Structure 1
Amino acid sequence: MHSLPLFHRIAGERVVVVGDGDMAEAKARLVTRAGGIPCAETEAHHAQLGFVALENGRKAEAAALRLKRLGLLVNVADRPDLCDFTLPSILDREPVLVAVSTGGASAGLAKHLRLRLEALIPETIGRLADRLSASREAMRTRFPDGAARRRALDKALAEGGPLDVLKVDSHEHVDNWLQGGSDKLAGSTEEFKLTSDDPDDLTLRQARLLGMADTVQHDPDIPEAILVRARADARRIELPGEPPAEGLTVILRLDR
């Protein structure tokens, strides 16, 4: 990864915006939309973030250096080399936010990826997030074990599940799912023989199941570039070894 993706809360906080014209106004609107308070460089001692939107390259660089000396993280429009952080293209389905970043390589590419995602992700996904948040205690009661709770939710949110994330009415079925969910989920195993050590050669099904796996069992020579396609909290077990009795286990073997 070229950057560590973070969502920074700025509600009620001052954020410096240096510049004028359309570019600076767009940054100020974004700050306001996130609950922040756009302010001038003279108030930089109250801020943690700053945006520089100046057409003149030398002036933009000088402003960025001034803000950085004061300890601010700075974004400079059209100058990724000067940026401490970059702005993604944002799909807002509050409280769900999807951010697409190219690390400043191409804002146009990020925008068009976001537009495709907007057509794919239903407007109601935010309602599903709200219902799940409101049901946390009910989920803990139904599935007291944390690992079992995560597996039950994964199964429900998956394609074809009762809370399928791409169905427009999934938020309406949360209560029914909680009433009818199983307390014990049997373990399942999927085994793949990979003919390549390039993660781009994974099939869609392999990539999807790898991303859902609770445990990844693998040959010692499976490259890290493939293993990182699994969840960060998934257990890794080198073969040979016994798979866990619960959850989804994906076995990866390299077949050359």
Structure 2
Amino acid sequence: MAVNSLPLFHRIADRRVVVLGLGEAAEAKRRLVERAGGICVGEAEAHHAQLAFVVLDDEGEARAAAMRLRGKGLIVNVTDRPALCDFTVPSIVDREPVIVAVGTGGASAGMAKMLRLRLERFLPQGLGRLASQLSAARPAIRARFPTSDQRRRALDAALREGGPLDPMAVQGEDAVDRWLSGDRNDTEQGFFQILLRSADPDDLTLREARLLGGADVVIHDRNVPQSVLVRARADAQRVPEGGEVPADMADGIVVAIRSAN
């Protein structure tokens, strides 16, 4: 599967960001930068910056400005000209500190916007509060679940659909404290099998997709397509069929995927 860009979240608080251009489009970029805590500057201060936005109507001027800024070591976004961009700007759903970014690699800003508007309807306003609770509770979570595997499995179970910390449900201000103080230990573990019905990952059931996304180990035959395997965590151990499951991962979630062929 070809990937045209690597999604990243770049911290720009108190850092200079070059914004070139006048008019509403340029002002929108300045608001975007300032909302993230950045400081908007002109080209004369490019040597202090890492990022630049070029918002110029004339393509020749925009191309020349992008080349100058790139030559000074900046990575550059040129509005409405994806071919001249080192990075593109996603449409953002803000539930601080949770940020959901929808990008199309510059293919269609309108599509990204419509997807963002739909996501706005589904994501609870309290999502950021739950994330902040989890951040503040890190020492307590480490004490309750000492190893990284225990913590990941406990959080996966708590945050899954219908779990005590389901992020799509309305959660109270003490949700994490109540979860930690409870006696429940509902971390999921065991061996699960998935027989693919097709090479299309969208044909996975919700449960299959959840198991694959939370698996510690993925056992697969050579006919399982990469488009399905990428639905697993990047750090999940991948074992070809017939291989041996690492002993330290055998008590987690082990998912065996087999193709229908």
Whole-angstrom distance in 1 between the partners of 2:188 and 2:231: 24
CA deviation after TM superposition for structure 1 residue 199, in Å = 2.7
The corresponding residue for 2:31 is: 29
Whichever residue aligns with residue 95 of structure 2, its letter is: R
Aligned with residue 79 of structure 2, among 74, 77, 80? 77
SS at match of 1:232: coil
- Cα pair 1:86 1:104 within 8 Å, conserved: yes
1:108 aligned residue: 110
Is 1:162–1:170's contact at 8 Å kept on the other side of the alignment?
A: no
CA distance in 1, matches of 2:92, 2:117: 9
Equivalent of 2:218, from 188, 192, 216? 216
The 1:96–1:185 alpha-carbon spacing in structure 2 relative to 1, beyond 3 Å, is closer
One-letter amino acid of the counterpart of residue 215, structure 1: V
1:226-237 → structure 2 map (5 Å cutoff): 226-237=228-239
Pick from 39, 52, 55 the counterpart of residue 50 of structure 1.
52
- Name stretches of at least 5 consecutive residues in structure 2 with no aligned partner: none
Which amino acid is the alignment partner of residue 253 of structure 2? L
Distance (Å, rounded) in 2 between the aligned partners of 1:162 and 1:234 = 24
Q: Distance in 1 between matches of 2:195 and 2:94?
A: 39
RMSD between aligned residues: 1.7
CA shift, 1:186, in A, is 6.0
Identical pairs, percent: 60
| Gap change, CA 1:182 and 1:121, over 3 Å in 2 | same
Q: Distance in 2 between matches of 1:70 and 1:181?
A: 58
Residues 1:248 and 1:120: Cα distance change in structure 2 (over 3 Å): same
Would the alpha carbon gap of residues 27 and 181 (structure 1) be closer, same or farther in structure 2, given more than 3 Å must change? farther
- 1:81-104 deviations in whole A, cap 9, x for unaligned? 000000000011100000000000
Q: TM-score, normalised by structure 2?
A: 0.93
Counterpart residue number, 2:131? 129
1:38 counterpart (24, 37, 40): 40
List aligned pairs for 1:90-239, cutoff 5 A. 90-169=92-171, 171-182=173-184, 185=187, 187-239=189-241
Partners of 1:216 and 1:250 within 8 A in 2: yes
Matched to 1:5, the amino acid is P
Quote the residue 1:20 is aligned against: 22
**TM-score between the two structures when normalised by the length of structure 1:** 0.94
Q: How many residues align?
A: 256
Deviations 1:133-187 (A, max 9, x none): 0000000000001101110000000000000010111553211111125568462
1:247 aligns with 2:249: no
Can you list the C-alpha shifts for 1:17-61, whole angstroms capped at 9, x where unaligned? 110000100001111101010011111111111000011111111
- The answer (yes or no) to whether the contact 1:217–1:237 under 8 Å persists in 2 is yes
Deviation at 1:207, TM superposition (A): 2.2
Partner Cα distance (2:188, 2:214) in 1:
15
In 2, Cα distance between equivalents of 1:86 and 1:184: 41
- Cα distance in 1 for partners of 2:107, 2:214 equals 30
Mapped contact 1:185–1:247 kept (Cα < 8 A):
no
Structure 1 alignment gaps of length 5 or more: none
Residues 178, 147 of structure 1: alpha-carbon distance in 2 compared, 3 angstrom cutoff: same
**Per-residue deviation, 1:200:** 3.8
Task: Give 3-state SS (helix, strand or coil) of 1:154's partner.
Answer: helix
Question: Aligned equivalents of 1:230 and 1:171: distance in 2?
Answer: 32
Q: Distance in 2 between matches of 1:208 and 1:152?
A: 14
CA distance in 2, matches of 1:184, 1:105: 43
